[in-house]
């Protein structure tokens, strides 16, 4: 194994598209965010895990960065006509097959890791892609009126528009899986991708004792900032950082990750923040962090893999 990535839903998968042009899939392990998972009409849906699984099996819809290519929504239309639960969450027909199979496997006593590994084998995926825990750890949003809603209800149903008072995690048996522990103990860099620090990376770090493991190998942990100025590339990261008492910027991220990362990758436009980041004891790489084109993804991936020593001997 050459590198381990922590991934959420959109930013990190884009970076992984670049990484896959440089390293072989066999050389990669990815731990995915469990916080966005949800029960949908009796089925377990794991959006961020599935995005990475679809990416590595070349099935991902690369226009939306979730769901499958050439998807149809006939089952959803039936469910909508029957007044089903969460009709606003667009599960496609092909995607539905995975959720039916996975839920049945779990009901038959398999763990989420076992089911995911079966899937890696069935779809001939050579990377190790696993959730951090076999328990549950779900992100909940506390609104200004103290109402508590799930991440997808906030993000998809309400389009991320509601004001946030806090973001919390509801955990049950959320201890690290044997497989995730094995991956994190390997002698290779850990790269926290440019995903939402609160709702995508936060849940992975909240799985006991992942934060402690990273603290113990801080110098080999790299993070890529999803911020430019006070804005995130996409999603509700800025709002959530503020709710957690951190500035929504690369400097704010350095403060949030200061105990677990040795190096932060930021956009050159944020170079004025370098002194503040360094005060946190974090080294800085400043470069173009946009990931819109494949050229940008490969360029950023190459730089990170070089700086983290993965490409040293190539
Ligand atoms: N995102 C949306 O904006 N609208 C949807 O209806 C939607 C459905 C959906 C179904 C399966 C899946 O794996 C992901 C889905 N997403 C949808 C993406 C998801 O809400 C988020 O982008 C991630 O959870 C954030 O990483």
Q: Which of 182, 178, 208, 219 is closest to 1 using CA atoms? A: 182
State if residue 103 touches ligand 1 by the CB under 6 angstroms criterion.
no
Is 313 a member of any domain? no
- Strand 43-45 and strand 38-40: the pairing is antiparallel
Is 132 a member of any domain? yes
CATH of the domain at 81: 3.40.50.10680
State if residue 203 touches ligand 1 by the CB under 6 angstroms criterion.
no
User: Which atom number of ligand 1 is nearest to the Cα of residue 10?
Assistant: 26
State if residue 48 touches ligand 1 by the CB under 6 angstroms criterion.
yes
Alpha-carbon distance values, 191 to 4, 11, 136 (Å): 6, 13, 23
Return the residue whose CA atom lies nearest to atom 3 of ligand 1. 156
Alpha-carbon distance values, 195 to 14, 118, 235 (Å): 10, 26, 9
Q: What is the domain extent for residue 172?
A: 3-307
State if residue 40 touches ligand 1 by the CB under 6 angstroms criterion.
no
Quote the pLDDT of residue 314: 54
Query: In the block, which residue shows the tokens 């995690």?
Result: 169
Quote the pLDDT of residue 233: 81
Phi, psi of 136 (to 5 degrees): -120, 145
- Strand 3-7 and strand 28-32: the pairing is parallel
Is 312 a member of any domain? no
Q: CB within 8 A of 112, min separation 6: which ones?
A: 44, 46, 102, 106, 131, 133, 134
* 139, 240, 7, 40 alpha-carbon torsion, rounded to 10°: 30
Q: How many domains would you assign to the chain?
A: 1
State if residue 67 touches ligand 1 by the CB under 6 angstroms criterion.
yes
Chunked into runs of 10 residues, the chain (314 residues) has average pLDDT values of: 95 98 98 98 98 98 97 98 96 98 98 98 98 98 97 97 97 98 97 97 98 98 95 87 96 98 98 98 98 98 97 70
User: Which atom number of ligand 1 is nearest to the Cα of residue 47?
Assistant: 13
């Amino acid at each position: 194994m050459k590198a381990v990535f922590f991934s959420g839903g959109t930013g990190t998968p884009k970076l992984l598209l670049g990484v896959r042009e440089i390293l072989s899939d066999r050389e990669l392990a990815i731990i995915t965010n469990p916080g966005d998972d949800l029960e949908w009409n009796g089925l377990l849906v794991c959006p961020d895990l599935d995005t990475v699984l679809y990416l590595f099996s070349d099935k991902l819809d690369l226009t939306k960065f979730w769901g499958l290519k050439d998807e149809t929504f006939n089952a959803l239309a039936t469910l909508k006509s029957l007044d089903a639960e969460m009709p606003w969450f667009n599960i496609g027909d092909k995607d539905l097959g995975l959720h039916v199979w996975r839920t049945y496997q779990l009901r038959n006593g398999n763990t989420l890791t076992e089911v995911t590994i079966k899937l890696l084998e069935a779809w001939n995926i050579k990377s190790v892609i696993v959730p951090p825990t076999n328990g549950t750890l779900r992100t909940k949003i506390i609104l200004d009126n103290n109402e508590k809603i799930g991440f997808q209800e906030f993000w998809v149903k309400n389009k991320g528009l509601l004001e946030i008072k806090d973001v919390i995690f509801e955990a049950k048996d959320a201890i690290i899986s044997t497989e995730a522990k094995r991956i994190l103990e390997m002698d290779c860099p850990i790269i926290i991708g440019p995903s939402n620090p609160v709702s995508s990376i936060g849940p992975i770090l909240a799985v006991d004792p992942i934060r402690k493991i990273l603290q113990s190998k801080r110098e080999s942990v790299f993070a890529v900032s999803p911020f430019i100025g006070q804005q995130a590339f996409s999603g509700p990261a800025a709002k959530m950082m503020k709710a957690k008492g951190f500035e929504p910027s690369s400097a704010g991220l350095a403060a949030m990750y200061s105990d677990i990362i040795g190096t932060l990758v930021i956009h050159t436009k944020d170079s004025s923040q370098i002194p503040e980041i360094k005060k946190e004891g974090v080294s800085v790489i400043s470069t173009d962090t946009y990931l819109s084109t494949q050229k940008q993804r490969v360029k950023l991936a190459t730089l990170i893999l070089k700086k983290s020593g993965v490409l040293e001997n190539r």
